[in-house]
A and B are shown apart, each in its own frame.
Chain A
């Protein structure tokens, strides 16, 4: 085998190895930044099949202004995004919550967000320290406008399109 073939193979291998590395990194990057994919938590609480019709959404309500994401803006999970579907979002320290917040001031089942005709309602689930929409304590299901902070313990969340 002539030496130059070996030399080509030798450097070719190294170059291919790095191309592989960059391919992998590329896949990871697409994974992170392209739209509403994977590493963001795609939300829908479990075991509530009734509330979430398996097929198409009930009605294409106000798609233009409807909230599509729940974003954690402050607290330990800051930066986490949940893509909103047709199902409830439960928030609390319990493991099965849609959004598990590890916050000393949060209760196991703290609050939930429920969609009704394209509008999301915030409901406190009898938490110890209460749920706040902006500065007002939530005592009954309250509609949540886009961009208004929901405060649970040290965590803040808001709805975005």
Chain B
């Protein structure tokens, strides 16, 4: 009987929460110069939530990867603690002490965490076998398109925030449907590619020594992808477009194993970027924005730029530089100087306080999460699972790269949330659903297959894998 490592998971989870508590306590000691008697409450609530999810995993996905949950819980917890720290810095001196549990950005993030974990638990409970998802692949594909499209169609008053039309706002809430579209589109891509895999791999045309799949086999996928990209152009969000592009190329590559797609994709991408840059320099118009971004990236400190267009990046770099190797300590930074610190630039804000040492640890944790996702994809035995897990894990890695790279000046800055750290319910919920899906797939991958097939399908009321699914569990016994 293979070990499930569930106890290790619980121990690491508690360790992670202890870290969050240390961070929260140091913040209060630094900012307020005293520890409020309730400093531990948010951390305790988080701990309770994560332990609850751990119990859900213990019962519903006992063989799931033990690393995913604690690692992500640490990121999520640090995010909440840092956002509360930002609240403390913003509050007036006399109202600091009474910062309520769910008030402020940090409090809201705590509430969103609560909701996200419930959603993740529900997903684990409902989807006992990840292959069930493939039954709804076309529906999910459609939902994905609608989610991506919705903000573009809606009037700007509802959907536009900081120039990007990515939102749906109603009342005090705003959600970013695009975050969820990622999950839906990955499932659709995976399903479609699994079905067409043989055709794609076998029926190919040879051109310039490279095998190209036939266009019509890829029709629906390219259509969906192009559609998403078009919509994103209208939503003025380069980062998300980049993410979808990467997602598309990678799932295609994993499914077909043809490096031609990788080459075409990269050529298209870099060619497009270069073209947009050149056009932006000469023609301007819609490409101007891209050209400006590239200029900011190349020379952020030039002339008057630090006061205007490159203000955000410059302040981010200065924050990171001020942090240096070891940071100014939790609570010791000056988050108010970093614009959008609770959102796009949270990594810079954190970097000021925990320094290169701390940020490297966070990067390693992100990398471990992504690599565990890919490991699940490697180990799982069905193509659909492989593609979903691989696609989701890779997308998350790419997203971290895009935003952290942007914030640290490695690549041009494009607006993206930092998974699990940035404030925002949509991002948090979508990413927790992603983790739930990875947990489910890793459970299937690591489960000893004796008896039940791919999960406790025998449980009454649980949905059986669909019969029409390619490669469903029908074994020929002679």
A and B touch in their complex, CB below 8 angstroms: yes
Residues in A lying within 8 Å of B, measured CB to CB: 1, 5-7, 9-14, 16-18, 20-21, 23-25, 27-28, 31, 36-39, 41-49, 52, 54, 85, 87, 90, 94-100, 102, 104, 108-109, 125
CB–CB B471/A17 < 8 A: no
Q: Is the CB of B448 within 8 A of A27?
A: no
Residues of A within 8 A of B30 (CB): 1, 6
Taking a contact as CB atoms under 8 Å apart, the answer to whether A18 and B357 are in contact is yes
Contact of A1 among B2, B34, B194, B368 (CB under 8 A): B34
B383 located at the interface, meaning its Cβ lies under 8 Å from any Cβ of chain A in the complex? yes
* A17 touching B19, Cβ below 8 Å: yes
* B66 / chain A contacts, CB cutoff of 8 Å: 27, 31
A10 adjacent to B332 (CB under 8 Å)? yes
Cross-chain contact of B29 among A1, A52, A90, A97 (Cβ < 8 A): A1
**Docked CA distance A46–B453 (Å):** 5
Residues of A within 8 A of B202 (CB): 104
> Is there an interface contact between A44 and B329, defined as CB atoms closer than 8 Å?
no
Interchain nearest-CB distance for A94 vs B (Å): 5
Give A1's nearest chain B residue, CB to CB. B29
Among B15, B71, B361, B473, the residue within 8 A (CB) of A47 is B473
Q: Is the CB of A24 within 8 A of B451?
A: no
Alpha-carbon gap, A57 to B261, bound state (A): 48
Residues of A within 8 A of B257 (CB): 102
B372 and A54 form a contact (CB under 8 A): no
From residue B203, how far is it (CB to closest CB) to chain A in Å? Answer: 13
- Most B-side CB within 10 Å, residue of A24, A28, A49: A24
Segment from B263-271, B374-382, B407-415 that makes contact with A: B374-382
Q: How far is the CA of A36 from the CA of B257 in the complex (A)?
A: 29
Q: A14-B357, A47-B474 are in contact. List 16 more A-B contacts (CB 8 A).
A: A1-B34, A1-B35, A6-B26, A6-B29, A6-B329, A10-B329, A14-B361, A17-B354, A20-B16, A20-B361, A38-B446, A43-B449, A44-B451, A95-B384, A96-B453, A125-B478
Say yes or no: A20 contacts B19, CB within 8 Å.
yes
Contact A48 B26 (CB under 8 A): no
Residue of A nearest to B70 (CB): A24
**A28 pairs with B476, CB closer than 8 A:** no
With known contacts A5-B29, A96-B475, A38–B34 Cβ distance under 8 A? no
Task: Report the nearest B residue to A96, measured CB to CB.
Answer: B473
List chain B residues, Cβ under 8 A from A97.
Answer: 381
Question: In the complex, how many angstroms separate the beta carbon of B29 from the nearest chain A beta carbon?
Answer: 4
B126 an interface residue at 8 Å Cβ cutoff?
A: no
Kindly state whether residue B112 has any CB partner on chain A within 8 Å: no
CA distance A90 to B381 in the complex (A): 12
Instruction: Say whether A10 contacts B326, CB under 8 Å.
Output: yes
Cβ-defined contact, A95 with B383, below 8 A:
yes
In the complex, how many angstroms separate the beta carbon of A42 from the nearest chain B beta carbon? 4
Q: Which of B2, B33, B327, B379 contacts A10 (CB 8 A)?
A: B327
Docked-complex contact B475 and A95, CB < 8 angstroms: no
Partner of B470, one of A11, A54, A95: A95
* B201: Cβ under 8 A from any A Cβ: yes
Q: Are A28 and B330 in contact (CB under 8 A)?
A: no
| Contact across chains for B330 and A27 when beta carbons are under 8 A apart | no
Q: Min CB distance, A141 to chain B, in Å?
A: 10
A94 to B35 Cα, complex, angstroms:
60
Write 9 A-B pairs (CB below 8 A) sorted by A numbering.
A10-B26, A13-B23, A17-B354, A27-B66, A94-B471, A96-B472, A96-B473, A100-B381, A125-B478
Whether, in the assembled complex, B402 has its beta carbon less than 8 Å from a beta carbon of chain A, the answer is no
6 closest pairs, A vs B, by CB?
A: A95-B471, A46-B453, A10-B329, A42-B448, A95-B382, A44-B450
